Amino acid sequence: MPLRINTGDFLSLSGHFLNSGDFLSNGSAVGIKYCDVYIMNSEISHKIKNRANPNDIFITPLKLSKYAIDMIDYDTNDIWYDPFKNNGSYYNQYPIECEKKYSEILENKDFFDFNENVTIICSNPPYSILDTVIEKSISLKPRIIQYLIGVNNLTARRIQMFEKHNYGLVKIHLCKVFKWYGMSVIVQFEKDKESILTYDRIVWK
């Protein structure tokens, strides 16, 4: 059953808005006074996020890949790198005036064996090994690291992984991809830049 809440309290809940009601006379969504939300059972959510055989192949829509690429300020001397090329959703849309490189495990070109010089990493990584991906990406010492990840994968601990190596979170864009679990987020880290996001890891009580 859906739970009816006052929209003033919506930030404390997770769910998909359904059956909205009580609009202002002009029909503005801002005027929603109450709405129904479904809260996903925590057991189901846990099973999705902790599958024994995670499905890490999610092809990024071409327009979203292009949007992510366009978020990056680059120059013609930059070397772009896609660690997880797959169908080329990112790679094929990199700026044509720049050098570009890629890895793809299906072509026996393993990201974790890659050690060439690059200045921009831009891709959609496998979430199940995200910590290892972050560590490897940082080890390549690019100027910019940008990934599309699940919003729940953006944690204070992972931001600290970047900041420990002087990468600041400089851009962030929330988005929803059809049939993907939950919200997604494009995060862009840049070397020797200050993070735009503040946080702490205190367990407040």
Residue 20 lies inside a defined structural domain of this protein:
yes
Question: Is residue 73 located within the same domain as residue 158?
Answer: yes
The mean pLDDT value for 146-169 works out to 97
Query: For tokens 């057991």, what's the residue?
Result: 43
Question: Is residue 28 located within the same domain as residue 96?
Answer: no
8 Å CB contact between 187 and 169 = yes
Give residue 42's pLDDT: 53
Each residue of 101-119: pLDDT tens digit?
Answer: 999 999 999 999 999 999 9
Q: Confidence band (pLDDT; 50, 70, 90) for 56?
A: low
Residue 108 lies inside a defined structural domain of this protein:
yes
The DSSP-derived string for 6-74 is EGGGGGG--SEEEEEE---TT--GGG--EEEEEPPPHHHHHHHHT-SS-----PPPHHHHHHHHHT---
Name which of 136, 105, 106 is nearest 121 in CA terms: 136
Question: Is residue 13 located within the same domain as residue 79?
Answer: no
Residue 51 lies inside a defined structural domain of this protein:
no
pTM of the model: 0.74
Least confident of 7-21, 86-100, 190-204: 7-21
Residue 202 lies inside a defined structural domain of this protein:
no
Number of structural domains (the chain) is: 2
Residue 78 lies inside a defined structural domain of this protein:
yes
pLDDT at 65 over 80: yes
Question: Is residue 23 located within the same domain as residue 95?
Answer: no
Calculate the average pLDDT of the chain. Answer: 82
Hey, which residues does 99 pair with through a beta bridge?
A: 79
Residue 198 lies inside a defined structural domain of this protein:
no
For residue 168, the surrounding DSSP H or E stretch is strand 167-175
Question: Is residue 23 located within the same domain as residue 92?
Answer: no
For residue 133, the surrounding DSSP H or E stretch is helix 130-139
The mean pLDDT value for 3-24 works out to 39
Q: For the chain, percent helix, then strand, then coil, each to nearest 5?
A: 30, 25, 45
Question: Is residue 70 located within the same domain as residue 167?
Answer: yes
Give residue 181's pLDDT: 81
Name which of 102, 75, 99 is nearest 90 in CA terms: 102
pLDDT at 18 over 70: no
DSSP, collapsed to helix, strand or coil, labels residue 192 as coil
Question: Is residue 78 located within the same domain as residue 168?
Answer: yes
Question: Is residue 81 located within the same domain as residue 178?
Answer: yes
Residue 199 lies inside a defined structural domain of this protein:
no
Question: Is residue 29 located within the same domain as residue 67?
Answer: no
Domain region containing 17: 3-39
Question: Is residue 79 located within the same domain as residue 34?
Answer: no
Question: Is residue 68 located within the same domain as residue 10?
Answer: no
CATH no. for residue 119? 3.40.50.150
The mean pLDDT value for 176-191 works out to 93
Residue 118 lies inside a defined structural domain of this protein:
yes
Angle at 46 between CA 2 and CA 186, to 5 degrees: 90
pLDDT at 7 over 50: no
Each residue of 73-100: pLDDT tens digit?
Answer: 999 999 999 999 999 999 999 999 999 9
pLDDT: is 143 or 24 the higher one? 143
Angle at 130 between CA 135 and CA 83, to 5 degrees: 75
Report the alpha-carbon distance of residue 90 to residue 158 in Å, rounded.
Answer: 23
Q: Could you give the percent of the chain with pLDDT greater than 70?
A: 72
Give residue 179's pLDDT: 84
Question: Is residue 34 located within the same domain as residue 68?
Answer: no
Q: Confidence band (pLDDT; 50, 70, 90) for 52?
A: very low
